[in-house]
A and B are shown apart, each in its own frame.
Chain A
């Protein structure tokens, strides 16, 4: 089968799922608007901890407040994607396993991984990502040397790589749902550990860096895009980041496949 014939039905299926998700969100219009407004404020509020921590400090670990805000901005962009597109699917999967409706998903003639991880969407949470881009923009404009086109496209690429790593991490957590059904708790743990990614990785001493990076390749997700915007990113670290992303995606895919096999051999 050619790649085009394989990809098209998937795109069509996701398109239809997202259409349904938008319609569901708009079915509760007041809730949609309220949620969007609160989300926007929440995105704005992420600036406060940075300002508070930098109160009375010129630089911390070689980062000025504006530069640290680049990291926070990147974090907010990724967090918005997770809340809009990844988390609802994880929680949905947990329900699907509990109530047995996952069977319907598995019987669709489309790759179940894509269907399980992308069919649900909470569109109003994308506002959070928009807020993240605003923070990125404002912080970048306050740099001594505003980033050029090259730096911006590198940063966007690295944000994409970060999103892929984030997705792979969540897929790993999702997969464990097949063994331990109550993983919604595990997702909160991942969310809280992810909070460390608000800060430039250099801020943490090696002890902490090990502690956090074992679970979450933090620097890769948020610090490298910020370094790119500052124009101080080493090409080698960008490349190794890409490598890490590929490895993460491959591992999570393998675990997912095993999890599905476990599901179909252990359930009744």
Chain B
């Protein structure tokens, strides 16, 4: 653990060098998360007939800007990377190193954050010029809550990715399954549609499902739709999901690696 911490700055540096080397591909990847922009266009029109789920034009813009930001900060490509490593056998070499592969992958993901910010800024600026009245909750207390919320969101996402990637130890390939999760996630996380705008039954499902822990909750915090009194409860929901998925992902990973090594891959 201590060794991992000491190695971490070096890992971040190497990760960042890789980001610079593959910048073109990464920029393209970052831009693929364009759905909030499309849905901003749709809901901006819907808001013509009056606020949707309490969001007027400025509210819609603020919400989707928050979604765009959260999506970039709480993002990881772990499931793609691990699937590839398992399929090509490259994971064997990674397992031989005295450093846990997931620690390395987490550093790799964090190293992309500066580039994500750089790509995101020119996208957000025109939205702000177009709807200058849009507001984000940027006071210190809200920012503190948001930081905690987005870190938790990233953790849940990383754990979910670990769980799905680990299935590849048994199935050889788990991208198809992950796509199914992703499809449901898009609809019920608040990524495409503010949860409040959905029919009753869908809202009920979204509230009890893990998806909103990754997007909806931090986006609501950032767009100022969460009172400070209500915040601890939402953070607790995220923390709960983090524990659940970390346990599941960890268990699947450990059993999967044992199986992988047993096969002499």
CA distance A185 to B32 in the complex (A): 9
Q: Please name all residues of chain A whose beta carbon is closer than 8 Å to the beta carbon of B12 when the two chains form the complex.
A: none
CA distance A61 to B44 in the complex (A): 11
Q: Please name all residues of chain B whose beta carbon is closer than 8 Å to the beta carbon of A205 when the two chains form the complex.
A: 41, 44-45
* CB pair A204 B41 closer than 8 Å: yes
Q: Please name all residues of chain A whose beta carbon is closer than 8 Å to the beta carbon of B198 when the two chains form the complex.
A: 52, 55
CA distance A227 to B192 in the complex (A): 25
Check: B122 CB closer than 8 A to any chain A CB: no
Q: Please name all residues of chain A whose beta carbon is closer than 8 Å to the beta carbon of B38 when the two chains form the complex.
A: 195-196, 199, 212
* CB pair A55 B199 closer than 8 Å: yes
Check: B46 CB closer than 8 A to any chain A CB: yes
Q: How distant is B75 from chain A, measured CB to nearest CB, in Å?
A: 14
Q: Please name all residues of chain B whose beta carbon is closer than 8 Å to the beta carbon of A34 when the two chains form the complex.
A: 176
Check: A266 CB closer than 8 A to any chain B CB: no
* CB pair B46 A53 closer than 8 Å: yes
Q: Please name all residues of chain A whose beta carbon is closer than 8 Å to the beta carbon of B227 when the two chains form the complex.
A: none
Check: B170 CB closer than 8 A to any chain A CB: no
Check: A257 CB closer than 8 A to any chain B CB: no
Q: Please name all residues of chain B whose beta carbon is closer than 8 Å to the beta carbon of A35 when the two chains form the complex.
A: 176
**Of B29, B33, B37, B52, which is within 8 A of A185 by CB?**
B29
Q: Is the interface of A mostly helix, strand, loop or mixed?
A: helix
CB neighbors of B among A176-201 (8 A): 180, 182, 185-186, 188-189, 191-193, 195-196, 199
Q: Please name all residues of chain B whose beta carbon is closer than 8 Å to the beta carbon of A49 when the two chains form the complex.
A: 187, 192-193
Check: A1 CB closer than 8 A to any chain B CB: no
Check: A251 CB closer than 8 A to any chain B CB: no
* CB pair A60 B46 closer than 8 Å: yes
Check: A207 CB closer than 8 A to any chain B CB: yes
Per-residue CB proximity of B199-222 to A under 8 Å, as 1/0?
100100000000000000000000
Check: B88 CB closer than 8 A to any chain A CB: no
10 example contacts (A-B, Cβ-Cβ < 8 A) are as follows A38-B180, A42-B183, A52-B197, A53-B42, A56-B197, A185-B28, A185-B32, A186-B28, A211-B37, A212-B38
Interface residues of B (CB under 8 A from A): 24-25, 28-29, 31-35, 37-38, 41-46, 49, 52, 130, 176, 180, 183, 187, 192-193, 197-199, 202
Please name the 7 residue pairs, one residue from A and one from B, whose CB atoms are nearest each other, closest first. Answer: A208-B41, A185-B28, A192-B32, A204-B41, A196-B38, A188-B32, A185-B25
Interface residues of A (CB under 8 A from B): 34-35, 38, 42, 45, 48-49, 51-53, 55-57, 60-61, 180, 182, 185-186, 188-189, 191-193, 195-196, 199, 203-205, 207-208, 211-212
> With contacts A53-B193, A55-B197, A204-B45 known, what are 10 further pairs, Cβ within 8 A?
A45-B187, A52-B202, A53-B42, A60-B49, A189-B31, A195-B38, A203-B42, A204-B41, A204-B42, A205-B45
